[in-house]
A and B are shown apart, each in its own frame.
Chain A
Amino acid sequence: MSPAGVPGVVERVEAHGETTLVVDPARVVEACTHLRDAEGYNVLVDLSGVDYLGWGAKQVAGYIGTPGGRDIHAPGSQGFERTPGEKETRFAVVYHLLRVSDDPARLRLEARLDDGDEIDSVIGVWPAADWYEREAYDLFGIVFRGHPYLVRILMPEDWEGHPLRKDYPLGGEPVRFSGEA
C-alpha cells in the first residue's frame, strides 16, 4: 500500500518492516481523516509522546577517562551505532494506526513539535484518542487543541510538572543499607 496521497507528509521512513510517515503537525487532522476514509485505517491503536531532550549528547563511551569523567552507559563502546544523529525538535507525537479488514496493515505517523507547541486533537477522527491525548498531556505537557476535557489522568489533579519529560527527575528515595554508620 502506498500512502502517497496523504496530505501533510514531510518524510517517509521504512525500517524493520514498518512504515513511518512524518507529518506536519499543522495538518495532522487532515492526514488522519484521509487515512481513515480513503485508506481504511479504522483503528487508532496507540498515541504516545516522546521527549528527545538530550538525544545524541556527545559523551565518551566505555571505561576511558576524560577530563569530564566517563560514562559506561553511553552508546558506542560495543561496536554498534556511534552517537545517534541530532533531532531538530524536542517532542514527537506518535500515532500507531491499524487497518482491521481483510487486508490488514499498520502505519506509524510522527508529528514533531517543540516545547510549548500545540497540536490539534484527532478525537474527531477516532474517539479512541481521548484518554491517550490526556495521558500525553499529563506526562509530557503537550497541549491538544480541541480536546473537550484535557485534564490530568494518571497523576493527581494538583500535581506539578510533567513526569515523563527528560528533565523531570526519576524521584524516589535513596536506599539506606543496614549496618550504615
Chain B
Amino acid sequence: MAVVPTTRIYEGTRIPARCPTILDVDPAEHDLEDILTVNFGPNHPSTHGVLRLIVQLDGEHVAGIEAVIGYLHTGFEKTMEHKTYWKGITYPERIDYLSFQANELVFVLAIEKLLGLETPEKATWMRMCLSELNRIHSHLVWLGTSALEIGAISMFWYAFRERDMVLDLFEMVAGVRMHTRYFQVGGLAEDIPEGFYEQARDFARHMPRAVNDYEALLDRNKIWLERTKGIGLLSAADALALGQSGPMLRGSGVDWDLRKAEPYLAYDEVDFDVPVYPNGDVYDRYKVHMDEMRASARIVSQCLTRLEELRGQPWIADDRKVVLPPREELHTSMESLIHHFKIVTEGYLVPEGQVYVAVESARGECGCYLVSDGGPKPWRVKFRAPSFAALQATATCVRGTAIADLIAVAASLDPVMGDVDR
C-alpha cells in the first residue's frame, strides 16, 4: 500500500494563501460589517491549556482565525544550555507533559547517538514498554478532555479511571506518577521491581476491553457522529505540506509511523498494526487514537514477555565514564569514587557534533536536535514539537465550520501547550 494515498479528500489546497496559519476573512463570502471578533482567551476550558484564538465570526460561522501562542514559553532550550546532560534530563519531560517519556526518550537517544553508547537489551525493551504505556496515558487524557469538550461528559471519568491504573504502574517503577525521569543515558535509572510484570500484564489484558467500553459509548452515538464526521477536513497533501505527523497524518490517509518506517529501540521485533483512516476529519482522528490504544496494549504484553526472560540482566550500560557506578562500589573502589565525583560535578563530556533523533510520541514526530561542542553541557538543544506543527493546521482545518465545530477541531489537533511553547 502506498504511503501517500491517491484518493483526495478535497481538490486543491485549503491552506490560506497569504499566510498559512492565518485565515483571513474573505470579503466575497462574508459581509465585513457582520463580522464579530471574539477572543478565545488564554484562560478557557476548551483550549487544552493556554492557547489564544482570535476568531472572526459571521453569525455562528468562523470566517477568520488566528492562533496566538507563547503563554507557556518556559525557556527550556536556553535553560538546558546551562545544565549538564545528567541534570538536563529532568527538563524535556515537562515539555510535552502528557507523553513525558517520549521527550525523555528522544533526548536520551540523542545523547547516546553522539556518544555512540550501546544500551543493554533489557533497557531497550523496558523503554519501549514504558513508551507505549505513556502513549496509552496520553490518549486517555486526550479522550477524556476532548469528549468532555464536545459534550460527552461521562467519558472523562472512564478515561481517568484507566489513566490512574497506568500512573500506578509508573509509580511502581519510578516512584513518581508523572515526569518519572526513569530513562538515563545508557539505560534505566533502576532495576524493574518484581510486582511490575504481573500488574502490567493485568493492565494490558484489561485495556482493550476498556477501549471497547469507550467505543460502545461513543461510536454509535448519533450526536457524537454528527459532531465529528465531516468536520475539520485536512487532505493528505495539505497535511504533508504543513509538516504534520502522528494521528493528524494517519487520520488523513497517509500511512506513516516512525515505529514502522524508521524503527528505533526494538519496534521492528514486535508485532502491531498502525491504524490509518482515509477521511481526514475529526472522527477519523478519534478512531486512530482508539486503535492506537489497542495496538499499544498489544506491544506492552509482548514487551513484558521479553522482559520476563531478561530478568537479572543489567539495566544500564557499563561505561563508567558516562554512567554512575553503583553505590556499593563507592565504598571499596577508588576509581568508582573518582568517576562518580567527576560525573556529578563536572558532568560527562559528549563529543562534538550534531544529531537529530525522532521518535513517534503520542502526538506525532517528537524530535531532538542536539548540537554539542565537546563539553559537559549541550550547546544547543531544540525539541521538534509535534503540537507546534499541529496548531499550524488550525487555519486550514476550520474552513467553513461553526463555533462548536471549532472546539471539536481544536480538540482533535491534540495540542499540548507545553509542547507548543516550550
Residues of chain B contacted by A55 (CB below 8 angstroms): 373, 379
Minimal beta-carbon separation of A125 from chain B (angstroms):
9
Residues of chain A contacted by B422 (CB below 8 angstroms): 154
Beta-carbon contacts under 8 Å, B1-33 to A? 2-4, 15, 18-22
Which of A44, A128, A131, A170 has the most chain B CB atoms inside 10 A of its CB?
Answer: A128
Q: Does A43 contact B (CB under 8 A)?
A: yes
Instruction: Given the known inter-chain contacts A101-B4, A154-B73, please indicate yes or no for A128 contacting B243, CB distance below 8 A.
Output: yes
Q: Does B200 contact A (CB under 8 A)?
A: no
Closest to A103 in B: B3
Taking Cβ atoms with an 8 Å cutoff, the residues of B that contact A are 2-4, 15, 18-22, 69-70, 73, 75, 77-79, 82, 113-114, 240-243, 245, 249, 254, 256, 261-262, 321, 342, 345-356, 358, 365, 367, 369, 371, 373-377, 379-380, 382, 384, 388-389, 391-392, 421-422
B346 with A73: CB separation less than 8 A: yes
B15 with A96: CB separation less than 8 A: no
A45 with B243: CB separation less than 8 A: yes
Residues of chain A contacted by B380 (CB below 8 angstroms): 48, 50-51
Residues of chain B contacted by A72 (CB below 8 angstroms): 345-346
Residues of chain B contacted by A16 (CB below 8 angstroms): 113-114, 353, 355
Residues of chain B contacted by A77 (CB below 8 angstroms): 346, 349
The contact string, 1 if C-beta is below 8 Å from chain B, for chain A 28-53, is: 00000000000000111110101100
Minimal beta-carbon separation of A24 from chain B (angstroms):
19
Minimal beta-carbon separation of B81 from chain A (angstroms):
8
A96 with B367: CB separation less than 8 A: yes
Complex Cα spacing A108 to B69, Å: 27
B3 touches which one: A76, A102, A106, A108 (CB < 8 A)?
A102
Complex Cα spacing A46 to B373, Å: 21
Complex Cα spacing A106 to B138, Å: 27
Q: Does A130 contact B (CB under 8 A)?
A: yes
Closest to A135 in B: B388
Which of B73, B254, B342, B391 has the most chain A CB atoms inside 10 A of its CB?
Answer: B73
A44 with B243: CB separation less than 8 A: yes
How many A-B contacts at CB < 8 Å in the complex?
140
B69 with A154: CB separation less than 8 A: yes
B358 with A104: CB separation less than 8 A: no
The contact string, 1 if C-beta is below 8 Å from chain B, for chain A 94-133, is: 1010001110101010000000000000010011101110
A149 with B374: CB separation less than 8 A: no
B384 touches which one: A18, A45, A76 (CB < 8 A)?
A45
Residues of chain A contacted by B79 (CB below 8 angstroms): 170
Other A-B pairs, 6, CB within 8 Å; known A45-B367, A96-B369, A127-B15: A56-B373, A75-B373, A84-B374, A128-B389, A153-B69, A154-B69
B351 touches which one: A81, A102, A106, A170 (CB < 8 A)?
A81
Minimal beta-carbon separation of B219 from chain A (angstroms):
29
Closest to A51 in B: B380
The contact string, 1 if C-beta is below 8 Å from chain B, for chain A 47-91, is: 010110001100000000000000011111110111110000000
Residues of chain B contacted by A26 (CB below 8 angstroms): none
B321 with A78: CB separation less than 8 A: yes
B369 with A42: CB separation less than 8 A: no
Complex Cα spacing A96 to B354, Å: 12
B20 touches which one: A48, A56, A123 (CB < 8 A)?
A123
B346 with A100: CB separation less than 8 A: no
Residues of chain B contacted by A128 (CB below 8 angstroms): 20, 241-243, 389, 392
Instruction: Given the known inter-chain contacts A18-B356, A128-B243, A170-B78, please indicate yes or no for A102 contacting B114, CB distance below 8 A.
Output: no
Closest to A159 in B: B70
Complex Cα spacing A132 to B22, Å: 14
Residues of chain B contacted by A73 (CB below 8 angstroms): 346-347, 375-377
Closest to B380 in A: A50
A104 with B262: CB separation less than 8 A: yes
Closest to B20 in A: A127
Minimal beta-carbon separation of B223 from chain A (angstroms):
34
Complex Cα spacing A171 to B82, Å: 12
A75 touches which one: B321, B365, B375 (CB < 8 A)?
B375
Minimal beta-carbon separation of A58 from chain B (angstroms):
13
* Between-chain CB contacts (< 8 Å), 25 pairs: A15-B353, A15-B354, A16-B355, A42-B240, A50-B380, A56-B373, A73-B376, A73-B377, A74-B375, A76-B349, A78-B321, A80-B349, A81-B352, A84-B352, A104-B262, A127-B20, A128-B241, A130-B19, A130-B20, A131-B388, A131-B391, A148-B19, A154-B69, A155-B73, A164-B77
Which of A78, A152, A155 has the most chain B CB atoms inside 10 A of its CB?
Answer: A78
Closest to A102 in B: B3
Closest to A52 in B: B379
Q: Which 10 A-B pairs rank lowest in CB-CB distance, beginning with the nearest?
A: A128-B243, A127-B20, A75-B374, A81-B374, A75-B375, A154-B70, A154-B73, A48-B382, A148-B19, A46-B384
Q: Does A179 contact B (CB under 8 A)?
A: no
Complex Cα spacing A147 to B345, Å: 45
B3 with A100: CB separation less than 8 A: yes
B367 with A80: CB separation less than 8 A: no
Instruction: Given the known inter-chain contacts A50-B380, A96-B367, please indicate yes or no for A20 contacting B354, CB distance below 8 A.
Output: yes
Minimal beta-carbon separation of A160 from chain B (angstroms):
15
Q: Does A163 contact B (CB under 8 A)?
A: yes
Residues of chain B contacted by A131 (CB below 8 angstroms): 21, 388, 391-392
Q: Does A174 contact B (CB under 8 A)?
A: no
Complex Cα spacing A170 to B356, Å: 25
Which of B15, B242, B379, B382 has the most chain A CB atoms inside 10 A of its CB?
Answer: B382
